[in-house]
Amino acid sequence: MDPELSCKVGGGSGNNFSSSKGKSVYNDEEEDDGGASGKDWMTNEGTYGPLNGGTSFRVSIGLARELLLPENAVLSALDKSGIPFEIAIGVNGMVWVNSPDPEITIMISNAIKNSEVMPEDKVRGMVKVMVKNVKKELMDE
């Protein structure tokens, strides 16, 4: 599998933000995608599509691999917080984040970057504080 195309796509559970409404799925008949398959290699289901909106940033390869683990501390804490977001993580260190508010997107990006140098218990506390602050900021608007 090409590491440039391998990624984990996910987001906060229980929200309507991460729906696939309006997103197109690549397939061989519609677009020339440079030889990259738009289908999952195991299930043959169309899973890759355009990443609309949001922002992307680089992290270290080590952090990218950590973020791809099922029980990653920062992503688990963000998921449990209930804030709506979408995320795609490439093993090449590229991370894409999208949410309905720019403040939430920035907070998620900062939480991910900060998590690289913190122990898991501190990461959970950091995320709680960051989420509390961004929710307060959004309520004040």
Query: What is the value of pTM for the model shown?
Result: 0.69
| 3-state secondary structure at position 65 | helix
26 against 119, higher pLDDT: 119
Q: DSSP letter at 39?
A: B
- Indicate if the pLDDT at residue 24 is higher than 50: no
Mean pLDDT value across residues 48-62: 88
Tell me the pLDDT tens digit for each residue of 64-113.
999 999 899 999 999 999 999 999 999 899 999 999 999 999 999 999 99
CB 92 within 8 Å of CB 20: no
Helix-, strand-, coil-residue percentages of the chain, each rounded to 5: 35, 15, 50
Confidence band of 50 (pLDDT split at 50, 70, 90): confident
pLDDT of residue 140: 86
